[in-house]
Amino acid sequence: MENNQYIDIFIEESQEHIENLNSNLLLLENDPSNKQIIDEIFRSAHTLKGMAATMGFENMNKLTHKMEDILQDVKNGKLQISHTIMDVLFRCIDTLSEMLDSISQKGEDDVPIDELMFILSGINSDASLEEVAATKEEVVDNIPLNVYEQDIIKEAMKDNYKAYKITVYIDKGCVMKSARAFIIFNSLDEIGDIINSSPSVEDIEDEKFDDRFTVHLITKEDKGNIEKRLLSIAEVSRIDVEAINVDLSKEEEKFIKEVSSSQSQSFDALKKSQNNKTSKSVRVDIDRLDNLMNLVSELIIIKTRLEGLEAHNRNSETVSTIEYLERITTNLHDAVMKVRMVPMERVFNRFPRMVRDLSHELGKKIVLNMYGQDTEVDRTVIDEIGDPLVHIIRNSIDHGIEMPEERLKKGKPQQGTINLKAYHEGNNVIIEVSDDGRGIDIEKVKAKAVEKGLFTSEQVNDLSKEKALDLLFKPGFSTADKITDISGRGVGLDVVKNKIESLNGSIEVLTEVDKGTKFVIKLPLTLAIIQALLVKIGDEKFAIPLNSISEIVHKKEEEIHNVQGREVVLFRGRVIPIIRLNEVLETKKLSNVGNLVCVIIKKGENLACCTVDELIGQQEIVIKPLGKYLSNVKVIAGATILGDGQVALIIDANNLF
């Protein structure tokens, strides 16, 4: 299919519009009389309809069309926003996103819509509207003139200009319709001024028209001349020229007004939204950005090499040139990194809807406050953090926030609050999810641990609060009294924790009974560039991510003890295992001088002491994957290219022990 190359763009843009619809509907629910929001919703629905129609997705087209009708009624004040209408509109959006999923998987929008269409028809009893926007052909033929355009024609007519409505039919077999249209436009421009066209000029340029289009022209030429001129252009099959008089009969005027208020307004809106998009952002494939990133890292490597060469040859001219180069590469690097950053908004956007639906379902009253949506994070992180957050928020809604009556009894406001916060902290981004619900009952957690056989009842009593809360992240651990649809199957928090740790992040819980619970997630800003400690093991260089290093200590060989066949060492009162990296990494064993350089690595609560032969220093490194062929090497997280072009492997601290 010819459309194939556009399908990705279509899917992405539609997704944006659906997101947009979702958030605007939520706004509308709280502020049903806000005209601006209704307009915004209408615009999104209209654009979706247009895109679906061009791509040939019938069901989607039909559904958005119906939605548009309802929104039109709302806009005109014929229909009052009610709970039912909101619910139906939300259902429409869900169905639309189902369709989109189906399109991206199978290339078809075969989601059943009959039931929804029926409900929609019930709401939208006004049939006259359907006629107005009935078929595309009719729209083409009844190209509306808005008041402004009518004024132009009136003015022009005073100066002896004539106005014509010209419909141009292009040969069905014409291959480059837009190019042909361009020639026609040019030729018309020579003899007069084109006031407007249907479809819009943009659509014609994009070949979004069948075999004809209509324009309004003011000119001094007469009808015959125009026809002659246009018919001389190749591949034009027919021309209809019709003189128009602005002193239209009353009936016609009324019709035009009615149509133009809906149609042209939405055309304007369409144009406006397009303009906004082009001026604000450019869509770029992530692969291209990665490529750019690669090139920049290479430039940095070459620059470092150049600096090395220059050290021998002290020439003030080259020194200043290289310094200049250095400044540029640093700036370039920063700029490329910034391009890859996206605001947290992308993830946060879906939560208001989720909170709304779930709280309705459970009969709870919950308000969600979001802060720091514009906090920027690398693409790689954004794509991964969504699911864990969904899980935590669901937990808060289901387990955290109490039922309204219960809250009143506790002297809390009926409405529960969930706060979602994102902010930067150094090279990390912190995401906090807090609720003012019932909190986590530590005693219950402990009891559960005993029940599961994780601890004996004596052991449990010695557990600190933090330790006990950590149990929540154990697989299969759930304290929910009843298992609900939403959460409580015990497959939640351990998955969340794993995910976050695989992103080199950490998660923490703070809770107080009847006050609330707070989850704090800490993630690196980017997964592509990290701070690392370069070390020498044997005669090879390795990088250890800095965020998995707790500290560096020196130990003597005689401080190592053997416990049950394992080497351990005492570190701050704790017994921690020794990992001899030269053995794990199969490097040459250097002659032991009895003094060990130990890098203390942390993995959650656990520590391990890794021996290395030499510390080189801290450096910012670009992580590159080892490639699919070597994807099963567990202890290596990737590779990086050092200043001299050498490759250094990155140790995956999470898989060392």
Partner 1 sequence: MSLYVIARIQDEEYALDIEKVQTIEKMMPITRVPQTESHVKGVINLRGEIIPIISLRKKLGLEEKEYDEDTRIVVLKAYDMLVGVIVDNANEVVDIPEENIDKLTFSDASDDFSKYVSKVGKIKDKVLLILDLKKLLDVRM
Q: Which residues are catalytic, by number?
A: 46, 68, 395
CB of 301 to partner 1, least distance (A): 8
Shortest separation between residue 89's beta carbon and partner 1, angstroms: 43
Residues 6+ apart with CB under 8 A from 91: 116
The sign of the CA dihedral 513, 514, 515, 521 is positive
- The residues near 426 (Cβ < 8 Å, ≥ 6 apart) are none
Token pair for 411: 């002297």
Min dist. Cβ of residue 38 to partner 1 (A)? 48
Amino acid at 368: L
Q: What is the DSSP string of 304-329?
A: HHHHHHHTTS--HHHHHHHHHHHHHH
Q: Which residues bind partner 1 (CB under 8 A)?
A: 294-295, 297-298, 301, 540, 584-587, 624-630, 633-636, 638-639, 641, 645-649
User: What percent of the residues of the chain are helix, what percent strand, and what percent coil, each to the nearest 5?
Assistant: 50, 25, 25
Nearer to partner 1, 231 or 590 (CB): 590
Q: 309 is written with which tokens? A: 């060469």
**Smaller CB separation from partner 1, 564 or 631:** 631
Of 149 and 652, which CB lies nearer to partner 1 in the complex structure? Answer: 652
Ordered DSSP codes for 348-378? HTTHHHHHHHHHHHHT--EEEEEE-TT-EEE
Residues 6 or more apart whose CB falls under 8 angstroms from that of 185 comprise 194, 197, 201, 215
Is 334 in contact with 341 (CB distance < 8 Å)? no
Q: Which residues have C-beta within 8 Å of that of residue 366, sequence separation ≥ 6? A: 355, 359, 397, 401, 415, 416, 417, 418
Minimum distance, C-beta of residue 104 to partner 1, in the bound complex (Å)? 20
CB 321 → partner 1: shortest distance, Å? 23
Please, which residue, 300 or 521, has the CB nearer to partner 1?
Answer: 300
Query: In whole angstroms, how close is the CB of 636 to partner 1 at the nearest point?
Result: 6
d(CA 609, CA 272): 61
Query: Helices then strands (H, E): number in the chain?
Result: 23, 22
CB closer to partner 1, 404 vs 538 = 538
Using only C-alpha atoms, what is the Rg of the chain?
A: 33
Q: Is-contact 217 240, C-beta < 8 A?
A: no
Which of residues 112 and 308 has its CB atom nearest to partner 1 in the complex?
A: 308
**Closer of 215 and 293 to partner 1 (Cβ):** 293
Both tokens of 45, joined, read 């629905």
Six token digits for residue 624: 């590159």
Q: How far is the CB of 46 from partner 1 (least distance, A)?
A: 41
DSSP state string for 37-79: HHHHHHHHHHHHHHHHHHHT-HHHHHHHHHHHHHHHHHHHTSS
Of the candidates 567, 520, 527, the one whose C-alpha atom is nearest the C-alpha of residue 545 is: 527
Enter the tokens of residue 250. Answer: 């009353």
The number of C-alpha atoms within 13 Å of 622 and in the hemisphere containing its C-beta is 23
Q: How far is the CB of 584 from partner 1 (least distance, A)?
A: 7
* Integer angstrom CA distances of residue 92 from 18, 59, 99, 322, 349: 10, 12, 10, 60, 18
Nearest distance from C-beta of residue 323 to partner 1, angstroms: 24
**Is the CB of 27 or the CB of 332 nearer to partner 1?**
332
- Residue 285 or 481: the one with the smaller Cβ distance to partner 1 is 285
